[in-house]
Amino acid sequence: MVDRRAKSGLSRALRSTGAAAGRPGGPLLFCILRTCRTNILRPDKQGERRKAMSSPGAPSIPFGALKHKRKTKKKHFVQQKVEVFRASDPVLSVLMWGVSHSINDLSQVPVPVMLLPDDFKASTKIKVINHLFNKENLPGQFKFKEYCPQAFRNLRERFGIEDQDYQVSLARSAPLKDEDGKCVGLMLTSYDRTLVIKEISSEEVEEMHIFLSEYHQYIVTCHGSTLLPQFLAMYRVTVESEDTYLLVMRNMFSHRLHTHRKYELKGSVLSREASFKEKVKDLPGHKDADFRNNVQKVYVSAEEKEKLMEKLNRDIEFLVRMRIMDYSLLLGIHDVERAERDEEDMDSSGDEEEEGENGPVPPYSTSPEGIPGYMNSLKPLGPGEFDPYVDVYAIQSAEGAPRREVYFMGLIDVLTQYDTKKKAAHAARAVKQGAGAEISTVHPEQYAKRFRDFFSKIFA
């Protein structure tokens, strides 16, 4: 249709040109031919060309240049700003890549109305071979597997953590290694200090599969109000044919308030004292005997104590039903006055300390810029203040307490079942210590009773 109209226009132009100029091959005919040919070849670019030619100072464009431009396909390149996945450890790089890939995929999947039994057994996995893009940061071959993605997405929602925030926390910058940790494998903290990533064994993965369905039902029942760990995801990362299993949880300590003292309490003082090697660390993990020797107490109001005991009793009943034992109470203490002194010392010195990958945490750190959702506080926070929607394990000390403190309390190591191995360990210790001795390894009911009794005595 365009060719027919152009040809008829050309014929009329030729007739008028011949009548006016008397010679069909003159300059005017060349201009008409050039215009008509351009219209035939570039009907969709006429408006653009007229605009360019009518602009002041617009240079003349040869026909050959237009023809060459027509054959060139314009490409759009988007610079990668965030998803670089740069980490010194290839396992961490693959973890960052996998989390980003998983969350992006989940965003395309409708949220199910209700979870089915298969959702607690499902998994998604991807295998990448001969990977060339971003090869400076990612290995050439790797595998990434996510366990129970729909179940964990539902748990994150119930714990008030949006997937976008979760993705930013784990994928924007590399997690930080906990060099002082006692764990055999990796123990990591997300760069914004809101999440903890713990390396677990393949046996613990199986235990988590057994535990997860009942755990999810319990979280639904208690509306997320619990001292139990908030499990958010579980992954397997395979690099160079070696599997690494990772469990992601919410950090029980604050992302903003520095923890000055830490205790891991089981309710038994037998062989429960931190070693000398542990005590010389920047943040040693003290134990039951240290708690007693330091005459440490927790100063909270009667109302807060009642809430804590209610949560603890409910959580322990659940753990007993699951035949879980050997769990601990993780207690972190933030000294408000000490933090204020440290901040004043830093201000008076005038020297800005550069914080390395595992460097010292300032007394009052701030959330990384640009993180939306639960990481943004609605108002500035002063000394000893915290956002209860972020620091869900935090409790203020009571009015009239000897010291202004903030306590962080939660239950850890909740995947140990009372199986044959634990029964054998209990029998061996009973023979060694005597039947009436206080033994750490006991059956779940006895462990729960001892734990409750001890917990009720830590308060002033």
328-335 and 261-265 beta bridge pairing: antiparallel
Point out the catalytic residue in the list 326, 335, 387, 391.
Answer: 326
Among 47, 36, 150, 52, smallest CA distance to 102 is for 150
Beginning with the edge strand found earlier in the chain, give each strand of the sheet holding 123-128 in spatial order. 123-128, 142-147, 231-239, 242-250, 195-200, 187-189, 176-177
The yes-or-no answer on residue 379 being catalytic is no
SS3 of residue 15 by DSSP: helix
Q: Are 128 and 186 in contact (CB under 8 A)?
A: no
Token pair recorded at residue 450: 């001892």
Point out the catalytic residue in the list 198, 266, 311, 422.
Answer: 198
SS3 of residue 185 by DSSP: coil
The 8-class DSSP code of residue 65 comes to: H
Q: Are 267 and 442 in contact (CB under 8 A)?
A: no
Torsion 277-278-279-282 (CA) sign: positive
Q: With 0-12 CB in 10 A as exposed, 13-18 as middle and 19+ as buried, what is 247? A: buried
The yes-or-no answer on residue 351 being catalytic is no
- Residues marked as catalytic: 198, 326
